[in-house]
Chains A and B, each alone.
Chain A
Amino acid sequence: MANPSAVCNGHLHHHHHQKQNNLLKSGISKKNGITKGMKKNGVSNGTLYKKTFIEHFEQAPMYVAVFTFVGFAVGTIFGYLRDFMRAWGLEKRNIAAEREQQKDFVPLYQDFENFYTRNLYLRIRDNWNRPICSVPGPQFDLMERVTDDYNWTFRFTGRTIKNVINMGSYNYLGFAETDVNALKTVTIELEKYGTGVCSTRQEMGTLDKHVELEKLVATFLGVEDAMVFGMGFATNSMNIPALVGKGCLILSDELNHTSLVLGARLSGATIRIFKHNNMQSLEKLLRDAIVYGQPRTHRAWRKIIILVEGIYSMEGSIVRLPEIVSLKNKYKAYLYLDEAHSIGAVGATGRGVVEYFGMSPDDVDVLMGTFTKSFGAAGGYIAGKKGLVDFLRTHSHSAVYATSMCPAVAEQIIRAMKCLMGLDGTTQGLQRVRQLEKNTRYFRRKLHEMGFIIYGNDDSPVVPLLLYMPGKIGAFARRMLEKNIGVVVVGFPATPITESRARFCVSAAHTREMLDTVLNALDELGDFLHLKYSRYSKSSHPELYEESRLELED
């Protein structure tokens, strides 16, 4: 089974290769694609993956890169011009200034640091920090805001834009809802417990609710024990330093989230970066680390830990878990998996990437995740063997110095998890997971057909659509809002400077009509703004070219 699909994969999806950072290379050649595709999904890897692993990172044609650089250059020149005019008083200075009494202090900000913020970000900053005034479900209400001075200040007109389709909030399973029945238990617990806890876990802050939640999380994931924390970001930044220290090695993916990077830096261990989802790069680093030991002294490393994420939120790619686990077992390293976006969103029953690849939770040493995305609450967890969790209960920075989770929020997670596990007596949880899968596939397929460049895995509900040019970022977001659709656009520094993108988050709560509205709007806008860069748009009649089906139906 592995063999024919590998050949077919190489043949059909010829844009199946690792993203190259050097955009100046001319596009993709078919030959390159086929050989690389075969190497990646060849026989040796085919046995690890139970289903086909399809990821796309198509490169745009050369002229796009050229125009992107030109766009930034124009923006920069105008930026210098504006700064010059402001310095000489020809233009009004709208920026807040230092106090008179402190003018002779060392300046707090370097002028150059803020150049990008002042001159490029400011022009289009009306597309971020948009305030909403309703639940962040599949549709929400935005507060209308206008600017009288080109985005220096905003004011609210008092009107709300109603029923804007929400393609930006992390609401994968649709648990951000205000249905009275759904929130019944949360209302009761809020009445009983109040909002705060006013103490840390180790002092007087462990409530019976936390114990209940931790047991439930452990059962949900199929591990021995779990511990919950009040903030997802802090879960990483406060627990990685407890697990590793000086003399340990951290191998971290290129595109890891800021919280993982901060946790790794605070731990004091040595950090080495491997190319995004690239197993050869990781293996080379592992071999070199064990063979040559610590730099200069050549002592053996105390331990090696690999930090990866389940789904990468800017790329939409899924981690190559089977290969990483086999590498980790071979070289005796430990694996820390951050499932912030993947828990609840992938897997047949929403158990995350571990279930998606058909593996056992014992394969991963430290399972970490957050409750913000798929469970509509706040906070994070770390789960694994009992020894690990006991160690964290005693040595985690969060357990000793930070307040524990609000009990009403804990109840929301409990009810969402019970729904997912089917413990509330309905099949609603499973339906949500299926609906998300259907929506994801439909949305991605349609976008491919229309000819947009989409990054990421076919099964990931995070869909980045590439815009490339800085001018299009602002235009895209504003015009989508005019059509009553709220999207998220990201540029530098969250993404490489030439790869600005719009990122859609598909939700189980989106109906087919909502997705069709969005797709039609994207179609129009794509033609208007010339965003359909893909040279490999699939036709809408796959049976005409899907050779695999013809082969098997001999």
Chain B
Amino acid sequence: ACKTEGILILWIIRLLFSKTYKLQERSDLTLKEKEELIEEWQPEPLVPPVPKDHPALNYNIVSGPPTHIITVNGKECINFASFNFLGLLNNEKVKSAAQASLKKYGVGTCGPRGFYGTFDVHLELEERLAKFMRTEEAIIYSYGFATIASAIPAYSKRGDIVFVDEAACFAIQKGLQASRSNIKLFKHNDMADLERLLKEQETEDQKNPRKARVTRRFIVVEGLYMNTGDICPLPELIKLKYKYKVRIFLEESLSFGVLGEHGRGITEHFGINIDDIDLISANMENSLASIGGFCCGRSFIIDHQRLSGQGYCFSASLPPLLAAAAIEALNIMEDSPDIFQTLRAKCERIHKALQGISGLKVVGESFSPALHLQLEESCGSRENDVKLLKRVVDYCMNSGIALTQARYLEKEEKCLPPPSIRVVITVEQTEQELDKAASLLKEAAQSVLN
């Protein structure tokens, strides 16, 4: 008995005095070796060189305001490329409201909302938007991209689950990336695929009910998709929401001021109670012809963003002249609700006129004011497709119709849409101009693609 204890004590003493192991062998590089490594290391250049003929370097320069008649690269054209759906960019009332605000407040707000950057115009705009959309509260951001990109990470954190449509726009993708949640993509507008994913999640939940009780779930969809021009099937989504207990975030940048009898967006289009949607986010840069964005919904949801929306708390607020312009644009939208009907009629007209162009197919709903024209058959590589479409666009520009290709960051998109020409319809375009555009596109397709 003594012997074993003695051996144990000796062993402990030996361990106490032996050299401790370091898991990282930081001691085997001498100073000279380190200096050599530092000498030898060559970083990549900060940015790779960009070829001079890169398509994005030769962008269009517009002289003067991008209104209905636009001067692109020195040539006067009819504008089919700016998202000025309701023609409010050049509206006299909107401009005079902005001028009055400029006289009173100057240009910038010189501070974020929390530090004397809240102006009475901001509060008024938030009230008006909430009233217009018939929700409890609205919150405005100073940049359209930052709106949905700040809203999603405010609610969805690491460990939460977000089901998002494949064709979601880049701002949504960045918001999801910043939130660090689990992203599950479902096929575009495919409710069966979404249901399958939801069922899979349900079986996962049954395995681990404690975790399931604290994991929040969201569905993020767009009202009118920018990349494909079609709308999401909102009634089915609402059914899925209540069946699987998932919250819905709706991005309405293109459908606000376009769909619905009074321009309230896709909820009015389908006649759905707006309280069924947890959060509606839209930017004011399309129909309202201003800058910035807003989110609206119940106070329970929106109030949270006032302390955790990064683009709201840590950024200067919207310049008051832009807020005043947006208020005036809202006034016009409320006073003349027939412009939405007019816009829809024009969309239908051109959608019909563009059918049957050889080589190009129209992608988008008949009432969508932002359409895509894609090549019916790709000629092999994306680069060549882009070059071909550029020739079509140039042909149209030379004859007085301003068009543009839809631009994407090819390496960054999750599901890159095929190359296309963007066609944007506004209320200011006359029927002759619409017909001219359609016939010109037919001509261009004939001469370039055949």
Residues of A within 8 A of B (CB): 96-99, 101-102, 104-110, 117, 121, 128-137, 140, 143, 166, 168-171, 175-178, 180, 183, 186-187, 190-208, 211, 230-234, 237-238, 243, 257-259, 262, 265-266, 287, 290-291, 300-305, 331-334, 365-366, 370-373, 375-378, 387-388, 390-395, 397-403, 406-409, 412, 486, 488
Verify if B295 is at the interface (C-beta below 8 Å from A).
no
In the assembled complex, the CB of B203 is this many whole angstroms from the nearest CB of chain A, namely 17
- Find chain A residues with CB under 8 A from B408 CB: 400
Known A208-B63, A406-B322: A203·B304 in contact at CB below 8 Å: no
> How far apart are the CA atoms of A45 and B118 in the complex, in Å?
44
In the assembled complex, the CB of A417 is this many whole angstroms from the nearest CB of chain B, namely 13
List 21 A-B residue pairs with CB atoms under 8 Å apart, sorted by A's residue number. Answer: A96-B299, A130-B118, A132-B120, A136-B111, A183-B106, A194-B67, A195-B89, A196-B84, A196-B285, A197-B291, A199-B83, A204-B60, A231-B145, A291-B29, A305-B46, A377-B107, A394-B50, A397-B174, A403-B283, A408-B102, A412-B108
- Whether A208 contacts B170 by the Cβ 8 Å rule is no
Q: Contact check: which of A129, A169, A406 meets B319 at CB < 8 Å?
A: A406
- Find chain A residues with CB under 8 A from B47 CB: 243, 387-388, 391-392
In the assembled complex, the CB of A302 is this many whole angstroms from the nearest CB of chain B, namely 5
- Whether A108 contacts B301 by the Cβ 8 Å rule is yes
Interface pairs A-B: 3 shortest CB-CB: A233-B315, A231-B143, A391-B47
- Find chain B residues with CB under 8 A from A376 CB: 106-108, 110
In the assembled complex, the CB of B282 is this many whole angstroms from the nearest CB of chain A, namely 13
Tell me the nearest residue of chain B to A204, going by C-beta. Answer: B81
Q: Contact check: which of A133, A186, A207, A230 meets B66 at CB < 8 Å?
A: A207
- Whether A195 contacts B95 by the Cβ 8 Å rule is yes
Verify if B215 is at the interface (C-beta below 8 Å from A).
yes
- Find chain B residues with CB under 8 A from A399 CB: 56
> How far apart are the CA atoms of A258 and B177 in the complex, in Å?
16
Tell me the nearest residue of chain B to A143, going by C-beta. Answer: B120
Residues of B within 8 A of A (CB): 29, 34, 37-38, 41-44, 46-50, 54, 56-57, 59-67, 70, 72, 79, 81-84, 88-91, 94-95, 98-99, 102-111, 113-120, 122-123, 142-146, 149, 155, 169-171, 174, 177-178, 212-217, 242, 245, 247, 275, 283, 285-286, 288-291, 298-301, 303-304, 306-307, 310-311, 314-316, 318-319, 321-322, 325, 402, 404-409, 412, 422
- Find chain B residues with CB under 8 A from A200 CB: 407
- Whether B107 contacts A198 by the Cβ 8 Å rule is no
Q: Contact check: which of B79, B303, B407 meets A202 at CB < 8 Å?
A: B407
Tell me the nearest residue of chain B to A230, going by C-beta. Answer: B143
> How far apart are the CA atoms of A232 and B109 in the complex, in Å?
13
- Whether B105 contacts A401 by the Cβ 8 Å rule is no
Extra pairs beyond A135-B104, A183-B103 (9, CB < 8 Å): A168-B115, A169-B116, A202-B56, A203-B60, A238-B145, A334-B43, A394-B56, A397-B145, A397-B174
> How far apart are the CA atoms of A170 and B316 in the complex, in Å?
10
Q: Contact check: which of B59, B95, B245, B319 meets A191 at CB < 8 Å?
A: B95
Q: Contact check: which of B38, B67, B118, B213 meets A290 at CB < 8 Å?
A: B38
- Whether B116 contacts A166 by the Cβ 8 Å rule is yes
- Whether A140 contacts B104 by the Cβ 8 Å rule is no
- Find chain A residues with CB under 8 A from B142 CB: 231, 378
- Whether A401 contacts B95 by the Cβ 8 Å rule is no
- Whether A259 contacts B315 by the Cβ 8 Å rule is yes
> How far apart are the CA atoms of A140 and B116 in the complex, in Å?
10
Tell me the nearest residue of chain B to A136, going by C-beta. Answer: B110
- Whether A198 contacts B83 by the Cβ 8 Å rule is yes
- Whether B43 contacts A265 by the Cβ 8 Å rule is no
> How far apart are the CA atoms of A392 and B409 in the complex, in Å?
12
> How far apart are the CA atoms of A292 and B292 in the complex, in Å?
45
Known A205-B66, A388-B47: A397·B307 in contact at CB below 8 Å: no
- Find chain A residues with CB under 8 A from B66 CB: 197-199, 204-205, 207
> How far apart are the CA atoms of A135 and B43 in the complex, in Å?
48
> How far apart are the CA atoms of A302 and B46 in the complex, in Å?
10
- Whether A131 contacts B118 by the Cβ 8 Å rule is yes
Tell me the nearest residue of chain A to B70, going by C-beta. Answer: A204
> How far apart are the CA atoms of A97 and B301 in the complex, in Å?
9
- Find chain B residues with CB under 8 A from A193 CB: 64-65
In the assembled complex, the CB of B44 is this many whole angstroms from the nearest CB of chain A, namely 5
Q: Contact check: which of A109, A198, A400 meets B89 at CB < 8 Å?
A: A198
Tell me the nearest residue of chain A to B52, going by C-beta. Answer: A390
Known A194-B94, A198-B66, A401-B169: A208·B290 in contact at CB below 8 Å: no
Known A130-B118, A195-B95, A195-B290: A395·B409 in contact at CB below 8 Å: yes
- Whether B214 contacts A106 by the Cβ 8 Å rule is yes
> How far apart are the CA atoms of A387 and B65 in the complex, in Å?
29
> How far apart are the CA atoms of A109 and B67 in the complex, in Å?
45
> How far apart are the CA atoms of A393 and B42 in the complex, in Å?
26
- Find chain B residues with CB under 8 A from A238 CB: 145, 174
- Find chain A residues with CB under 8 A from B242 CB: 101
- Find chain B residues with CB under 8 A from A201 CB: 59
> How far apart are the CA atoms of A399 and B306 in the complex, in Å?
28
In the assembled complex, the CB of B8 is this many whole angstroms from the nearest CB of chain A, namely 38
- Whether B290 contacts A176 by the Cβ 8 Å rule is no
- Whether B315 contacts A135 by the Cβ 8 Å rule is no
- Whether B111 contacts A233 by the Cβ 8 Å rule is no
Known A117-B307, A136-B110, A204-B404: A128·B115 in contact at CB below 8 Å: yes
Q: Contact check: which of A106, A135, A401 meets B217 at CB < 8 Å?
A: A106
- Find chain A residues with CB under 8 A from B306 CB: 129
In the assembled complex, the CB of A324 is this many whole angstroms from the nearest CB of chain B, namely 16
Known A129-B114, A136-B116, A332-B43: A409·B319 in contact at CB below 8 Å: yes
Q: Contact check: which of A132, A178, A266 meets B103 at CB < 8 Å?
A: A178
Tell me the nearest residue of chain A to B89, going by C-beta. Answer: A194
> How far apart are the CA atoms of A258 and B66 in the complex, in Å?
34
- Whether A196 contacts B89 by the Cβ 8 Å rule is yes
Known A202-B56, A204-B404, A332-B42: A232·B300 in contact at CB below 8 Å: no
> How far apart are the CA atoms of A143 and B41 in the complex, in Å?
60
> How far apart are the CA atoms of A134 and B101 in the complex, in Å?
10
> How far apart are the CA atoms of A44 and B185 in the complex, in Å?
57
Tell me the nearest residue of chain B to A336, going by C-beta. Answer: B46
- Whether A486 contacts B146 by the Cβ 8 Å rule is no
- Find chain A residues with CB under 8 A from B84 CB: 196, 198
Tell me the nearest residue of chain A to B311, going by C-beta. Answer: A233
> How far apart are the CA atoms of A391 and B174 in the complex, in Å?
20
- Find chain B residues with CB under 8 A from A102 CB: 247
Known A133-B119, A233-B311: A409·B107 in contact at CB below 8 Å: yes
Tell me the nearest residue of chain A to B403, going by C-beta. Answer: A204
> How far apart are the CA atoms of A98 and B247 in the complex, in Å?
12
- Whether A206 contacts B298 by the Cβ 8 Å rule is no
In the assembled complex, the CB of B92 is this many whole angstroms from the nearest CB of chain A, namely 10
> How far apart are the CA atoms of A183 and B103 in the complex, in Å?
8
- Whether B143 contacts A234 by the Cβ 8 Å rule is yes
- Find chain A residues with CB under 8 A from B120 CB: 131-133, 143
- Whether B46 contacts A243 by the Cβ 8 Å rule is yes
Which of A98, A109, A175, A196 gathers most chain B CB within 10 Å?
A196
- Whether A365 contacts B46 by the Cβ 8 Å rule is yes
- Find chain A residues with CB under 8 A from B62 CB: 204-208
Which of A98, A130, A197, A287 gathers most chain B CB within 10 Å?
A197
> How far apart are the CA atoms of A408 and B106 in the complex, in Å?
11
Tell me the nearest residue of chain A to B170, going by C-beta. Answer: A401
- Find chain A residues with CB under 8 A from B64 CB: 192-193, 207-208
> How far apart are the CA atoms of A194 and B322 in the complex, in Å?
10
- Whether A199 contacts B81 by the Cβ 8 Å rule is yes
> How far apart are the CA atoms of A552 and B30 in the complex, in Å?
47
In the assembled complex, the CB of B305 is this many whole angstroms from the nearest CB of chain A, namely 12
- Find chain A residues with CB under 8 A from B307 CB: 117, 121
Known A99-B298, A131-B118: A397·B412 in contact at CB below 8 Å: yes
Known A170-B110, A401-B170, A403-B144: A202·B59 in contact at CB below 8 Å: yes
Which of B60, B109, B122, B247 gathers most chain A CB within 10 Å?
B109
